[in-house]
Amino acid sequence: MEYDVLIRNVFATPDVIELLSGRTSWLSYGYDNWLSNRFFLPSPFDPVDTLGLLAQPATLARVPVHSTPNYAIYQVSNKGNATLDYYHLPDHRTLLYDRRTRFAYWEQPLALDSGNPLAVTAEQLKAICPEASLTNIQKHIGPLNTAMQKYQINTRLRQAHFLAQVAVESDHFRATREYATGKEYEGRADLGNTQPGDGVRFAGRGLIQITGRDVYVKYGRYLGRDLTQGNSMKLVEQEPWAADAAGYFWLIYKKGKDLNGRADRDNVESVTRAVNGGHNGLAARQRYTANAKKVFGLK
């Protein structure tokens, strides 16, 4: 069963992404409060979408149930739940809106080489982290670009800090699992490791490592998967989950640390404390951030 929903036509420009993140007021857009959990489709009357995230379809395969210059009614599926809305757009793609992160993304990602002007190339990432092999970079570059779109790492400065941290945390993109066995986490109630064998079972995985039963449970719920049974937790060692887990860690798991905000303030030491809990590898993180800013043309 599907039902109709009213969607306000607003472009996903950088300003609107700021609005979606909750840092700016909707007053200038005349936003209606009762639409607080709905995402927005571009209008043909609006200027070109500068991010390319929600480009207006050239030819509509089917039309909205009802439309005006300012509003359109499209179908939203009951496939959604308390945290996710699934919007079926007229070109037969599906847009997901995550109410927890207040961010929208495609169920099937757009082609990054044509639809995402903020996509980072393998060559750029190699220049940021020269110690990494191009072979390893190529394994991760696509999923990393998707994760950066999904988790609001949507400015060059945010990308510079995120990629520098990922480069160090993954040992220059060599590792998606920590080198230690995880035995040192056995019995760590603060990590949720309350069952025998949890230390090894829930060792750190991902390009930024998630560690401990608690975060595996939370990330699994976010994905709609159980990452605690059998060998399911090992998925996080593989792409696209290794990169996605890094984005999840950055935006959702460490939400209270406001890593995007720290990146916006361009403070490598502050970002490092939030990611690593200390200053391990700080010099390398500073160097890779500087490299990234140079690659991206930032001062």
The answer for residues whose C-beta is within 8 angstroms of residue 236's C-beta and 6 or more apart is: 176, 205, 206, 210, 216, 219, 227, 242, 245
At 108, the pLDDT band (50, 70, 90 cuts) reads low
Instruction: At 138, list the tokens.
Output: 């190529």
| Mean pLDDT confidence for 152-176 | 96
Other Cβ atoms less than 10 A from the Cβ of 290: the count is 15
pLDDT at 231 over 80: yes
pLDDT at 139 over 90: yes
pLDDT digits 0-9 by tens, 1-11: 233 333 333 32
pLDDT digits 0-9 by tens, 32-59: 322 333 333 333 333 333 333 333 333 3
Instruction: At 14, list the tokens.
Output: 């950088």
Instruction: At 259, list the tokens.
Output: 């890593």
DSSP summary character for residue 45: T
Instruction: At 290, list the tokens.
Output: 């500087």
| Best-predicted range by mean pLDDT (28-42, 107-121, 204-218) | 204-218
User: What domains can be seen in the chain, in order of their start residue?
Assistant: 2-108 (no CATH), 114-175+241-295 (no CATH), 183-237 (3.30.20)
Confidence at residue 256, expressed as pLDDT on a 0 to 100 scale: 93
Give the residue, 92 or 298, on which the prediction is more confident.
298
pTM beyond 0.75: the answer is no
152 touches 258 (CB < 8 A): no
| Mean pLDDT confidence for 280-296 | 96
Amino acid at 216: Y
Provide DSSP, 17-76: HHHHTTSS-SGGGT--GGGTT------TTSPP-TT-SSPPPSS-SS--SEE-SSEEEEEE
How far from the centroid of its chain's Cα atoms is residue 34's Cα? 26
55 touches 138 (CB < 8 A): no
The closest alpha carbon to 115, from 54, 48, 163, 59, belongs to 54
Confidence at residue 100, expressed as pLDDT on a 0 to 100 scale: 72
Give the residue, 200 or 47, on which the prediction is more confident.
200
Confidence at residue 52, expressed as pLDDT on a 0 to 100 scale: 36
| Mean pLDDT confidence for 71-82 | 53
pLDDT at 81 over 80: no
